[in-house]
Chains A and B, each alone.
Chain A
Amino acid sequence: MIIRSKPMGRRTVLRGMGATLALPLLEAMMTSPSAAEAAAKTRMRLQVIYMPNGMMMQNYTPAQTGAGYAMTPILKPLEPYREKFAVISGLAHKQAEALGDGGGDHGRSCGSYLTGVHVKKTEGADITSGPSMDQIVARQFSEQTQIPSLELGLDPPSLVGSCDTGYSCAYTNTLSWRTASTPLPVTVNPREVFERIFGDGDSLDAKTRIMRLRRQASILDSVAEDARHLSGSMGADDKKKIEEYMASIRDIERRIQKMEQGGPSAAALPAYARPSGIPDSFEDYARMMIDLQVLAYQADMTRVGTFMVGREVSGRSYPEIGVADAHHPLSHHGNDPEKIAKLTKINILHMEQVAYYLKRMSETKDGEGTLLDHSMLLAGASLADSNTHQHTNLPVIVAGGLVKGNQHMMVKDDVPMTNLMLSMMDRLGVQQERLGDSSGRLTGFTA
Chain B
Amino acid sequence: MSPIIKRSGFAIGLVACAGLAGAALFGNATADTLPPVTRLAQAAPQAAPQVASASSTAGRKAMLLQYCSGCHNDKSKAAGMSVQPLDADHLGANNDVWEKILRRVSLGEMPPRGMKRPSKEEIADFTRWLSSSLDGMSAAAPNPGRATLRRLNRTEYGNAVRDLLGLDIDLSKDLPVDDMGYGFDNIADVLTVSPTLMDRYINVAGKVSRLATGLASRTPVTTDYKITKDLFENAFGIAAYNERASDDLPVDSRGGGSFKFYAPYDATYTIQLYLNAGTQTESEIDANNRHEVKAFMKAGPRIIGASFPRKLTLEQVLIPRTTKGPRVGTSATVVQLPLDVQVDGALVQRITVPSVAQGPNVAQDFYMRDIMQISVAGPYDVKGPGNTASRRTIFVCRPSAEIAEAACARRILASLARRAYRRPVTDRDIGRLMKTYDAGRQDGGFEHGIQAALEEVLVSPNFLFMRESNPPSSAPGSVNRISDFELATRLSFFLWSSIPDNRLLALAQAGQLSRPAVLKQQVTRMLSDPKARALTQNFAGQWLHLRRLEYQRPDKRNFPGFDERLRTAMLTETQMFFDGVVRENRSVLDFLDADYTYVNQRLAEHYGMKGIYGTSFRKVNLDPALHRGGLLGQGAILTVTSYNDRTSVVLRGKWILDNILSAPPPPPPPDIPALNEAKNGKLLSVREQMDLHRSNAICASCHSKMDPLGFSLENYDAVGAWRVNYAGQKLDVTAVLPDGTKFEGPKGLQGILLDRKDQFVEAFTERLMTYGLGRGLEAYDMPAVRKVRYAAAKDDFRMSTIIMEIVQSVPFAMRRTPER
Q: Are A4 and B221 in contact (CB under 8 A)?
A: yes
| Stretch among A31-39, A55-63, A219-227, A365-373 lining the B interface | A219-227
A230-256: which have CB < 8 Å to B?
Answer: 230, 233-238, 241-242, 244-245, 247-249, 251-252
Q: Are A192 and B195 in contact (CB under 8 A)?
A: no
* B452 at the A interface (CB under 8 A): yes
Instruction: Return the contact of B643 from the options A161, A168, A211, A329 (Cβ within 8 A).
Output: A329
Residues A241 and B200 in contact in the complex (CB < 8 Å), given A4-B221, A159-B177: no
* A215 at the B interface (CB under 8 A): yes
Closest 9 pairs between A and B when the two form their complex, measured CB to CB: A124-B181, A235-B818, A165-B667, A103-B667, A248-B198, A324-B555, A238-B149, A251-B195, A334-B674
Residues on A with beta carbons closer than 8 Å to the beta carbon of B435: 222
Q: Are A123 and B667 in contact (CB under 8 A)?
A: no
Q: How far is the CA of A236 from the CA of B819 in the complex (A)?
A: 8
Report the contact-size class of chain B (Cβ under 8 Å from the partner): 35 or more
Q: Are A166 and B667 in contact (CB under 8 A)?
A: yes
Residues on A with beta carbons closer than 8 Å to the beta carbon of B452: 215, 219
B155-193: which have CB < 8 Å to A?
Answer: 173-174, 176-183, 187, 189-190, 192-193
Residues on A with beta carbons closer than 8 Å to the beta carbon of B548: 159-161
B269-288: which have CB < 8 Å to A?
Answer: 283-286
Residues on B with beta carbons closer than 8 Å to the beta carbon of A245: 193, 198, 461, 464-465
* B565 at the A interface (CB under 8 A): no
A-B contact pairs, 17 of them (CB 8 A): A2-B224, A4-B220, A123-B29, A178-B194, A187-B196, A202-B219, A215-B452, A219-B455, A229-B428, A230-B461, A280-B231, A281-B235, A317-B555, A319-B553, A319-B556, A324-B645, A334-B677
Q: Are B820 and A235 in contact (CB under 8 A)?
A: yes
Scoring A residues 273 to 317 as 1 if CB is less than 8 Å from chain B, else 0, what string do you get?
Answer: 000110011000000000000000000000000000000000001
Residues on B with beta carbons closer than 8 Å to the beta carbon of A326: 643-644
Select the residue from B180, B557, B666 with max chain A CB neighbours within 10 A. Answer: B180
Select the residue from B460, B645, B667 with max chain A CB neighbours within 10 A. Answer: B667
Known pairs A165-B666, A236-B818, A324-B644 / 4 extra A-B pairs, C-beta < 8 Å: A169-B190, A216-B206, A222-B456, A233-B469
What residue of chain A has the Cβ atom nearest to residue B216's Cβ?
A: A202
* B545 at the A interface (CB under 8 A): yes
What residue of chain B has the Cβ atom nearest to residue A155's Cβ?
A: B551
Residues A122 and B462 in contact in the complex (CB < 8 Å), given A188-B177, A196-B199, A215-B455: no
Min CB gap B333→A, angstroms: 29
* A203 at the B interface (CB under 8 A): yes
Q: Are A102 and B193 in contact (CB under 8 A)?
A: no
What residue of chain A has the Cβ atom nearest to residue B174's Cβ?
A: A192
Q: How far is the CA of A121 from the CA of B222 in the complex (A)?
A: 46
* A1 at the B interface (CB under 8 A): yes
Min CB gap B389→A, angstroms: 21
* A134 at the B interface (CB under 8 A): no
A313-370: which have CB < 8 Å to B?
Answer: 317, 319-320, 324-326, 329, 332, 334-336
What residue of chain B has the Cβ atom nearest to residue A336's Cβ?
A: B677
Residues on A with beta carbons closer than 8 Å to the beta carbon of B220: 4
Residues on B with beta carbons closer than 8 Å to the beta carbon of A329: 643
B463-478: which have CB < 8 Å to A?
Answer: 464-465, 467, 469-470
Q: Are B667 and A102 in contact (CB under 8 A)?
A: yes
* B32 at the A interface (CB under 8 A): yes
A176-190: which have CB < 8 Å to B?
Answer: 178, 182-185, 187-189
Instruction: Return the contact of B179 from the options A2, A169, A241, A248 (Cβ within 8 A).
Output: A169
* A156 at the B interface (CB under 8 A): yes
What residue of chain A has the Cβ atom nearest to residue B817's Cβ?
A: A235
Instruction: Return the contact of B776 from the options A105, A124, A216, A241 (Cβ within 8 A).
Output: A124
B650-677: which have CB < 8 Å to A?
Answer: 658, 666-672, 674-677
What residue of chain B has the Cβ atom nearest to residue A97's Cβ?
A: B670
* B439 at the A interface (CB under 8 A): yes
Min CB gap B590→A, angstroms: 22
Q: Are A248 and B193 in contact (CB under 8 A)?
A: yes
Residues on B with beta carbons closer than 8 Å to the beta carbon of A199: 203
* B440 at the A interface (CB under 8 A): yes
Min CB gap A331→B, angstroms: 12
